[in-house]
Chain A
């Protein structure tokens, strides 16, 4: 397992390169197929609105996967991730248009631990509001 970032080179507060992720309906269909989660709130507007949602929403796990990329892109080897967890606090609404939904992902080093570990705190925003709570990854650096 070889991360490309050295533990000695990061400090609490070090910011990771930010990431912008655009999710369109096709991405939700692809995720449904690849994950096996065919809940119609993620692809059927009639159904989503019947259960009180404004429109189709992204799978929470797709948002989690997208947000996690800010860490794995930075560290190089995704196998260096030791822990990753999020709370789903707000749905990401994906309209049926050419723009879809845009996620703005930022992250920074929140804590340095022994054994070359760091805790990264992640912020994921959609429409200027956070959609994940307590989004944290623990990563082993070199």
Chain B
């Protein structure tokens, strides 16, 4: 079944804030095998001009994942989650996510299309501090294989 085009442009308002802690950043950095001192050592991060340790460039996905899942699982949208693959991910940063940030995520369904029998959904998540400073925007492209109308 094709995705419901009525959901194009739908905005999912921010839920509870994500509190970014130093140890979470370190845990994430270790999990990706990255010992860059900007993620681990507060003094080093400050010597680079950051307020505290910063998070690796892909960390905002962790922050946005819950919010974008709310959009993807929106029952009326019609995405067959059993057949989805992650097609694409992109980030545009105003500044790095930094320990101590309290972040909220607003997700928008930015594009719905069909290509080669696949439903393709693009969500945009704007990640801001809870006092309104935009930190990073991330786009996720999700592909549901062979679910579009008329496909086998």
Asked whether A8 is an interface residue with its Cβ less than 8 Å from the other chain, the reply is no
Question: Is the beta-carbon distance between A85 and B89 smaller than 8 angstroms?
Answer: yes
B38 within 8 Å of A by Cβ? Answer: yes
Whether A88 contacts B36 by the Cβ 8 Å rule is no
- Return chain A residues, CB-CB under 8 Å to B65: 35-37
Q: CB distance A27 to B33 under 8 Å?
A: yes
User: Contact: A72 with B86, CB < 8 Å?
Assistant: no
Residues B33 and A86 in contact, CB atoms below 8 Å apart: no
Cross-chain contact of B90 among A61, A73, A83 (Cβ < 8 A): A83
Complex CA gap A65/B61 in Å reads: 11
Q: Is there a chain A Cβ closer than 8 Å to B27's Cβ?
A: yes
Contact A36 B62 (CB under 8 A): yes
Listed residue (B50, B65, B93) with the most chain A CB atoms within 10 angstroms of its CB:
B93
Q: Which of A9-17, A74-82, A106-114 interfaces with chain B?
A: A74-82
Question: Do the beta carbons of B92 and A62 come within 8 Å of each other?
Answer: no
In angstroms, how far is the closest chain B Cβ from the Cβ of A63? 10
Number of A residues with CB within 8 Å of any CB on chain B: 34
Whether A61 contacts B86 by the Cβ 8 Å rule is yes
Q: Is A21 an interface residue (CB 8 A)?
A: yes
A78-B56, A79-B50 known; A66 vs B32 contact (CB < 8 Å): yes
Residues of chain A within 8 A of B54, CB atoms compared: 78-79
**Please, which residue of chain A has its CB at the minimum distance from the CB of B62?**
A35
Q: Which of A33, A82, A88 contacts B85 (CB 8 A)?
A: A88
Q: Are B32 and A65 in touch, CB under 8 angstroms?
A: yes
Query: How many Å from the CB of B133 to the closest CB on chain A?
Result: 15
Q: Give A117 to B36 CA distance when docked, in angstroms.
A: 21
The complex places the Cα of A88 from the Cα of B87 at a distance, in Å, of 5
Given the complex of chains A and B, what is the CA–CA distance between A77 and B148 in angstroms?
43
Chain B positions within 8 Å of A88 at CB level: 85-89
Q: Provide 14 A-B residue pairs closer than 8 Å at the C-beta atoms, listed in order of the A residue.
A: A1-B50, A34-B32, A64-B58, A68-B57, A68-B58, A72-B34, A78-B57, A81-B93, A81-B96, A82-B92, A83-B90, A85-B91, A87-B87, A88-B89
